[in-house]
């Protein structure tokens, strides 16, 4: 088996199929159900050898007031080591939707100092479209405890306490990944009891605008998308409902060459802690 030394932020299903047996590669299924969408989209099969990356139970704070809250470095390190991640591992992450929660897992790895991680472009739908091999989702794979050490990267994350200053600072641009109807308060928020609204000075870029069906748009197209919203030297801050689709925009912006962060609490936190 060969060994890979470096990885881009996005890889094709053909690339993964060709490297699936490489000795230092690990594949994670980071699927979660969409807040808005059809649960029937979830698959009963998975990419052979892949392990479940449990965003909800293992890689979020369990007792947080808000969903999908970023875990501590200690929690992340412990649970990633249990999946067999070493400092020299190569990680590819996918989900059942195409590119959705896989981007959140990618962002978590980046935020805790692991760089050789990529999202599978098109996810499981694209893998199936190429008719590559599958196995039952219930199949378990275990690995020896890894030696990965987490190093928290604070510039990747924005917290509620910083938002007021950021919203008034021209060096930053806040971009909201929710649908235009949610952003413009035309439809109610899907979470019961959460008010509609927007973060002051934010602009809207629904996360599906950086996708072409299930796949990420090419780099040049992404650069055009962000050029229409922000200056190249602005630091982009992404928000959404609860930090999932904001991470899709973070992936796209990284590919396009923009410095960026994710507001971890996103609208669920902001809408709960502020008054309209």
SS3 label, residue 177 = coil
Fold of the domain built from segment(s) 10-152: Oxidized Rhodanese; domain 1 (3.40.250)
Residue-wise pLDDT tens digits, 5-45: 667 999 999 999 999 999 899 999 999 987 655 555 678 99
Residue-wise pLDDT tens digits, 228-268: 999 999 999 999 999 999 999 999 999 999 999 999 999 99
* Interior/surface letters 13-26, b for 16+ CB within 10 angstroms, e for the rest: bebbeebbeeebbb
DSSP 227-256: HTTS-TTSEEEEE-SSSSHHHHHHHHHHHH
CATH 3.40.50.970 holds for 155-273: no
pLDDT tier, 151 (very low <50, low <70, confident <90, very high otherwise): very high
Question: For residue 260, which of 250, 246, 274, 268 has the smallest C-alpha distance?
Answer: 250
Using the structure block, give the residue that is written with the tokens 């139970």: 57
Active site residue ranges: 240
Delimiting residues of CATH 3.40.250.10 domain(s) in the chain: 10-152, 155-273
What is the pLDDT at residue 64?
A: 77
pLDDT tier, 66 (very low <50, low <70, confident <90, very high otherwise): confident
Beta carbons within 10 angstroms of residue 64's beta carbon: 14
């Amino acid at each position: 088996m060969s060994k890979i030394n470096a990885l881009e932020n996005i890889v094709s299903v053909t690339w993964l199929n060709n490297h699936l047996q490489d000795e230092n590669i690990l594949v994670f299924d980071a699927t979660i159900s969409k807040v808005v969408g059809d649960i029937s989209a979830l698959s009963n099969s998975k990419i052979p050898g892949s392990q479940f990356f449990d965003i909800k139970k293992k890689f979020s704070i369990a007792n947080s007031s808000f969903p999908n809250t970023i875990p501590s470095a200690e929690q992340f390190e412990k649970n990633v080591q249990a999946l067999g991640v070493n400092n020299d591992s190569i990680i590819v992450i996918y989900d059942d939707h195409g590119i959705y929660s896989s981007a959140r897992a990618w962002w978590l790895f980046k935020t805790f100092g692991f760089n050789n991680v990529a999202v599978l472009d098109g996810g499981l739908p694209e893998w199936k479209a190429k008719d590559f091999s599958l196995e039952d989702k219930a199949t378990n794979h275990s690995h020896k405890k890894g030696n990965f050490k987490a190093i928290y990267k604070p510039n990747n994350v924005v917290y509620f306490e910083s938002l007021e200053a950021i919203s008034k600072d021209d060096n930053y641009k806040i971009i909201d990944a929710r649908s235009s109807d949610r952003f413009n308060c035309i439809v109610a928020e899907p979470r019961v009891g959460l008010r509609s609204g927007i973060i002051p000075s934010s602009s809207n870029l629904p996360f599906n605008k950086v996708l072409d069906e299930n796949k990420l748009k090419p780099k040049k197209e992404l650069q055009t998308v962000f050029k229409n919203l922000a200056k190249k030297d602005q630091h982009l801050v992404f928000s959404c409902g609860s930090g999932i689709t904001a991470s899709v925009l973070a992936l796209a912006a990284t590919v396009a060459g923009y410095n960026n962060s994710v507001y971890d609490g996103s609208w669920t936190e902001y809408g709960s802690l502020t008054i309209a």
